Structure 1
Amino acid sequence: MTDPLSRTILLLDIEKYSDRDDVEQAYLRRMLYDITDRALESAGIDETLRLRADRGDAVMELIDANASVPALLRALLTQVPAQLRSVNRMASSSAQIRLRGVVATGYVAVDEHDGWVGSDLNHACRLLDAPLLRAALRERRDDFALCVSESVHGGIVRHDHPGIPASDFHAVTVTSKNGPLPAWLHGPVPATDDHSEGGTGGAPVPGTSGDGPAPGPRGEPGAGAAGGGVTFTFNGGSPSFGGSLVGGDQHGVSGGEVTGNVHLGGSESSRGDSA
């Protein structure tokens, strides 16, 4: 395994993705990639400064530590909401795209199987899957909800850089399988009390994403729950996920093409509909 390297971690996830049919999922994935690429390019972060992992309904970027984090945050707070509004104005109700995002920093190592390993990466994934962040997006008219880690807030946000108002971020504590995690949520903290561990106060209904009612004829799913011992493995450019990172619904891909719904939990995977 290589020595851990300092990285900026960006995670973006499509809300209620698995409630869509295959055609809609393929469209949403194209929009996710386009929005991500445009935001990173506007922040001056080109492909030579980042590594990407495809999670089906989400994308993960490991960004070189020398890239500007303030520029990234400004792009996420301005470019991403603007792009989402533009896309959704022309999209049908079943093709609306709404995103949860996390920005964190930390150390990530690469193992002998080209997997990504690091507790900071694990924590970022847990923030992305937190019921509180899901609830924040549900309660907003805006199509984007962003959460940053303690390290990003302490190093960047609290200094009130231009375009990154510190007063717009609020301290929160999210639940996770390993206990509470402190973080900072951009925008209002959810007013409802249904963002405790487990989502909307009970077990998710089989065949649904657990993110609440869909905005139209079909809904959008959330990201799979991130667990401990995370490893991301890449073979021939197509990533697979090992360890116990993914405990929820995910969508498998091969070479960037949609191949069906895949349930990943430990070593078990199956094609077709998954809950």
Structure 2
Amino acid sequence: MESYSGRDNVLQYRAQRAFQKIMTEACEELGLDRATWLLQQGGDGELAILPAGTSERAVVTRLTPIVDRLLREHNRGLAPEARIRLRIGVHEGLVHLDGANGYPGEAVVTVCRLIDSPQLKAALRQFPGAAVALIVSDRIHQDVVRHYQDLRPEHFRRVSATVPEKDFEAIAWIYVPGENIAGDAEAKDRNESRRPPGNSREGSGDAGRRSRVPTPQPLPGGQVFSNITSHGINAFGNGNVISTSGTHDTTDPRRSDS
């Protein structure tokens, strides 16, 4: 659950009850027997080991949209701090079911890292109207998502999911129900590519225009004046005089037109 630790005791209690209710309703709608799942509870969520024979296609492509719909119905009318938004991760692999303190296995570690990756958290923040963000491993994406059209494969964003403090990095795919997260990323990349390279402001604004104007160089035996604005009668150089009308005063034989 997003922002679970920021809730007070009462809101955490309510969120846990709502989470269990929504997951049970979603499984019933899918025809999945949640009672057969091996669950390791974590307060703000759970690790679920699904039994052999469970439809991967149903879990990957149908569970997330159903949970998203049920959560949006639940959140309607609630204060922002009471709303529930979820991150869901799916991976596959070998797991020891008889561990002394949980379920040992690299697959378990991987799915836990995926769910905690900043890339998935950022995706959920990017779409405040969504209630769920899904991340699947590259293996799941290749085996399930790209072969079936339950969810449009082109709406998944390919990311390098990282948890630096755990020395974890893996290719994964993120999906947000009702959103084209991949298209938004492509549009952002196009906008970034149109920007001038570097961080310098040269070339934009008055400072940029001034920086491109060459500095006038004096000619031998003459004088050069550049970018001069005159208000009233002023003298420049060796006794040169310019009138306010822009007409040269010819009374001074030393006037220069350079």
Partner of 1:155: 143
Contact 1:88 1:97 in 2 (8 A): yes
Contact 1:174 1:181 in 2 (8 A): yes
Partner of 1:29: 16
TM-fit CA distance, 1:47: 3.3
Query: In terms of mean alpha carbon deviation, does 15-24 or 177-186 score higher?
Result: 177-186
Which whole-Å CA distance do the structure 2 matches of 1:47 and 1:128 have between them? 20
Instruction: Point out 4+ residue stretches in structure 1 off by more than 3 angstroms.
Output: 189-192
Does residue 145 of structure 1 match 2:130? no
TM-fit CA distance, 1:45: 1.6
Partner of 2:67: 80
Contact 1:42 1:75 in 2 (8 A): no
TM-fit CA distance, 1:114: 5.5
**3-state DSSP class of the match of 1:108?**
coil
Query: In terms of mean alpha carbon deviation, does 20-29 or 73-82 score higher?
Result: 73-82
Max radius of gyration: which structure? 2
Question: What TM-score results when the alignment is normalised by the length of structure 1?
Answer: 0.61
State the percentage of identical aligned residues. 34
Contact 2:162 2:170 in 1 (8 A): yes
Q: How many residues align?
A: 179
Root mean square deviation of aligned Cα: 2.0
Contact 1:157 1:164 in 2 (8 A): yes
Which whole-Å CA distance do the structure 2 matches of 1:41 and 1:108 have between them? 25
Does residue 185 of structure 1 match 2:174? yes
**Structure with a larger share of its residues in strand:** 1
Alignment of 1:145-224 (within 5 A): 145-161=133-149, 163-176=150-163, 177-187=166-176, 188=181
- Give the structure, 1 or 2, with the largest relative contact order (CA under 8 Å, sep 6 or more): 1
Which whole-Å CA distance do the structure 1 matches of 2:60 and 2:22 have between them? 14
> Which structure 2 segments of 5+ residues have no match?
189-258
TM-fit CA distance, 1:164: 2.2
